[in-house]
């Protein structure tokens, strides 16, 4: 499993650069081998430095948030084993790849808690530079090659000579021609449709699949290489809080909720209703259940790559139901029977107080 650099430094996923630096300095000072002589200090110190090296570098941090690794060559689905997710982007865009020059769209997408559990999709609009249909990308009027002529400044070489004065004398060097930008040719009459750019910006819409199990602040990234310039799109997922369910950690597939029962069900046992992402189900309440106890429904949590978490419900007592006269009499007969825990607690208190 990949290291959680945010957890190592004890910062949140949206921590600022200054917060990361402050956490690093504090931990590095605490676990430096020259100061901390504990056996695990050296390994801890290495992890701290490794985490800071990644999170303090904007590009490495973005790669880590996207792919779970700071390696710039990492490609593919941020969810390991998510074949369907990767295939979608390969089919739609013809495969993913990295290039140094590209346009980058970054945006936020908000989804509900249940959508993060079940998986969903969102439409996203962006612009891509597509080859001009009139000039076919050569930038000349009606695409006619006769308007693409040799650059008079560099005589078609694409280079221009530059003479520079330095402490060591005069040096001659070359650089891309400022007139033709290194192409060796210029356009004598530009295409009217694209104004000599060779492309038109076209609006595109893609349906982005958001896999089940995605967590808050996770980033989905993909490429579109269909245009003249590659486009990278990074979508940061915002998962809304739920009034019913909770997810404790990003790598935790368990879902947490509450089970409300009256005290008599807790005493004698029974069944109670519990909300799940798939609907309302029932759960067995053992005899003698206490408020705060946690009961589990196996396999009813989040499912990722055929691994399923559990639904864990914390027991909460409701108010007492309305009782008949006979029921009250029965309860009165039990009211004076304290448990052994009560007896031990009072005895201990008397010893301390006296």
- 226's tokens: 């269909």
Q: Which residue has the tokens 């931990």?
A: 27
Q: Is 132 annotated as a binding residue?
A: yes
State residue 282 phi and psi, 5-degree precision: -110, 150
Which token pair is 42?
A: 């050296």
How far is 190 from 199, CA to CA, in rounded Å? 12
Residue 138 and residue 198 in contact, taking contact as beta carbons nearer than 8 Å = yes
> 240: how many CB neighbours lie within 10 A of its CB?
12
The answer to whether the annotation marks 154 as part of a ligand binding site is: yes
- List the structure tokens of 302: 């989040």
- 95: Cβ contacts below 8 Å, ≥ 6 apart: 225
Distance CA 6, CA 217 (A): 12
Q: Which residues contact 63 (CB under 8 A, 6 or more apart)?
A: 69, 70, 71, 72, 74
177 is in an annotated binding site: yes
Answer yes or no: is 145 a known binding residue: no
CA-to-CA dists, residue 246 to 123, 170, 215, 251, 272, angstroms = 26, 70, 11, 13, 20
Is 152 labeled as ligand-binding? no
Of 193, 194, 141, 175, the C-alpha closest to 149 is 141
- Is 70 annotated to bind a ligand? Reply is no
Q: Give the residues across from 131 on adjacent strands.
A: 199
3-state secondary structure of 269: coil
On whether 102 is known to bind a ligand per the annotation, the reply is no
Among 271, 125, 266, CA closest to 202: 125
Neighbouring C-alpha atoms within 13 Å toward the C-beta of 90: 9
194 is in an annotated binding site: yes
Q: What are the beta bridge partners of residue 256?
A: 246, 312
> Angle, nearest 10°, between helix axes 41-55 and 58-67?
100
The annotation places the binding site for Zn(2+) at 132, 135, 151, 154, 177, 180, 191, 194
């Amino acid at each position: 499993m990949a290291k959680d650099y945010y957890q190592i430094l004890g910062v949140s996923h949206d921590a600022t650069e200054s917060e990361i630096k402050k956490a690093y300095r504090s931990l590095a000072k605490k676990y430096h081998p020259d100061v901390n002589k504990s056996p695990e200090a050296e390994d801890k110190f290495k992890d701290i430095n490794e985490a800071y090296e990644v999170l303090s570098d904007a590009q490495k941090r973005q790669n880590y948030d996207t792919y779970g690794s700071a390696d710039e060559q990492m490609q593919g689905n941020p969810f390991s084993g998510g074949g369907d997710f990767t295939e979608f982007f390969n089919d739609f865009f013809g495969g993913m790849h990295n290039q140094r020059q590209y346009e980058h769209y970054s945006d936020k997408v908000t989804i509900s808690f249940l959508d993060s559990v079940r998986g969903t999709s969102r439409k996203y609009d962006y612009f891509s530079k597509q080859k001009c249909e009139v000039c076919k990308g050569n930038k000349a009027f009606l695409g006619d090659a006769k308007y693409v002529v040799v650059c008079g400044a560099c005589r078609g070489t694409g280079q221009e000579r530059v003479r520079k004065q330095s402490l060591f004398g005069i040096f001659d060097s070359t650089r891309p021609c400022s007139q033709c930008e290194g192409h060796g040719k210029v356009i004598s009459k530009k295409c009217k449709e694209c104004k000599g750019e060779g492309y038109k910006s076209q609006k595109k819409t893609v349906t982005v699949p958001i896999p089940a199990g995605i967590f808050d602040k996770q980033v989905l990234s993909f490429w579109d290489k269909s245009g003249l310039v590659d486009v990278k799109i990074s979508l940061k997922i915002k998962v809304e809080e739920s009034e019913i369910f909770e997810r404790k950690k990003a790598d935790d597939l368990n879902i947490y909720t509450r089970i409300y029962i009256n005290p008599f069900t807790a005493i004698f046992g029974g069944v109670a209703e519990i909300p799940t992402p798939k609907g309302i189900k029932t759960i067995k309440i053992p005899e003698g259940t206490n408020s705060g106890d946690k009961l589990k429904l196996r396999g009813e949590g989040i499912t990722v790559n055929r691994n399923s978490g559990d639904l864990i419900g914390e027991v909460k007592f409701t108010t007492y139901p309305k009782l008949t006269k006979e029921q009250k009499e029965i309860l009165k007969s039990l009211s004076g029977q304290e448990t052994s825990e009560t007896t031990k607690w009072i005895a201990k208190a008397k010893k301390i107080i006296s």
